[in-house]
Amino acid sequence: MKNLEKLENLKLENKKLSEIVGGNPARGGDVTVTAGGQTTIQDWPTTGWCTTTEYSSDTRVSNGEYIYHNEKVLSQSPN
């Protein structure tokens, strides 16, 4: 395979990956995925409560918010 063909195939694969993961800077920024951890959510499940969860991974979407995957509630208590 010629070098130019290899380069074109690589560009196509990168484009496919970008669309699958959702990392499209033209739509407001890259999507980033990180490893797991813990987070504390204020006023959830209702006002005046605090919930701590752990998760296996998270995704930061273009609006700056996070989506947590495989969440498990560790504790809930009043603020």
Q: Where are the domains of the chain?
A: 3-78
- pTM for this entry: 0.51
pLDDT the model gives residue 75: 92
Cβ contact 54:71 at 8 Å = yes
Tens digit of pLDDT for each residue in 20-67?
444 444 554 555 667 788 888 889 888 999 999 988 888 887 787 888
